[in-house]
Structure 1
Amino acid sequence: MWLLCNAVFLVPLLVVIVKSENEKFLVFSKSKVTWYQALIECKRIKRELATINSEKEELELDNFLLNNNFDKTYWMGATKEGNGEYYWATTGEKMNYTFWVNGQPDNTKYDLNWDEGEHCLAWTVQSNQVFYGWNDVTCLEPHYYICQKFEDCD
């Protein structure tokens, strides 16, 4: 279960530090940025874009987001830039666990991504929290983001 243990405000971030059984800490941004900017912002505050490796971690994250009305789209740490398969940018490991929204990934091609498709991973809510999970999104679209760090709450 995700437990709120501290809240700190940093500009331009709204920092929400939460603790789970596996000691993941998440930071939810206040401003929307591209996937690349989110990667840099997380590193700037000595964290990484969120990585989910199991159903248990996914359910903890889902429950925390949905129960606390985080009903937006949030960047996570995977991309398929490179060889076309999804890897976690934070660890370099291939994604073994997935939680795609029905019909995803679809690699939609349109003007914003210069008809090259969608290459970055986002957690999203659709239809008033009825459908939620992962979606492939154009890396240049602005979204909020989730950072993580493995440490204890003090």
Structure 2
Amino acid sequence: MKYFLSFIFATCLFSVLTADIAVPHIPTLDVTCAVSETQTYLRIGKKYYIIGKSKVTWFDSLHLCRRFGGDLALIESAEEMDAISSYLKGQGYDGNAWFWISGNDLVINHHFISVTNGLPLPFTAWSPGQPDVPGVEHCMHLWLRDGQFQMNNWLCTEKAFYICQRQNNTRCYGGY
């Protein structure tokens, strides 16, 4: 009996630890913050994102994402990068559409960290020859090169679209 109960406990524990319970499995998620209207996050891969429709500076995109209950997107794997790239291409975005993400080297040149969590980037997919222009181009964006969206560093004060990522523990109410 003791071994049977241990087996049941281990099986339940394994099931809980391996389940993808970080986010609900729905295609969209509405988030309403006190200071803005309801925003709809789209599930792309395993995370929820907002694709900003206006072009703003990297600093403005950071504030917009926070206002919408999230942060600039932190791409943590090749799987996430492929999902975002496929989605953007499927929506018709081309080489003229650039998207701010969370990476920056504002503190130490060419030491890119995420503004989302303050840690070094766990994954990068730089375009060939990137990052370049140390000390000048500090903020990361995605751009379409060779048929895939890839990472590049750019001037933070230039304007681009942006990608917000919904945080699990948002500052705002999530309607789920």
TM-score using structure 1 length? 0.77
Cα distance, 1:58 vs structure 2: 0.9
Aligned counterpart, 1:18? 42
Cα distance, 1:49 vs structure 2: 0.3
Q: Which runs of 5+ in 2 are unaligned?
A: 1-25, 32-36, 169-173
Aligned counterpart, 2:20? none
Aligned counterpart, 1:141? 158
Using a 3 Å threshold, how does the CA distance of structure 1 residues 130 and 20 change in structure 2: closer, same or farther?
A: closer
Determine the C-alpha separation between the residues in 1 that align with 2:27 and 2:98. Answer: 20
Q: Which runs of 5+ in 1 are unaligned?
A: 109-115
Structure 1 segment 74-93 matched on structure 2, within 5 A = 74-84=99-109, 85-93=111-119
Q: Secondary structure at the match of 2:41?
A: strand
Structure holding more helix per residue: 2
| % identity of equivalent residues | 27
Runs of 4+ that moved beyond 2 A? 3-8, 129-132, 150-154
Aligned counterpart, 2:141? 122
Larger radius of gyration: 2
Determine the C-alpha separation between the residues in 2 that align with 1:62 and 1:132. Answer: 5
CA RMSD, Structure 1 to Structure 2 (Å): 2.7
Using a 3 Å threshold, how does the CA distance of structure 1 residues 68 and 55 change in structure 2: closer, same or farther?
A: same
Aligned counterpart, 1:112? none
How many equivalent pairs are there?
138
Determine the C-alpha separation between the residues in 2 that align with 1:45 and 1:60. Answer: 22
Indicate whether 1:54 and 2:45 are aligned: no
Preserved contact between residue 78 and residue 87 of structure 1 (Cα < 8 Å): yes
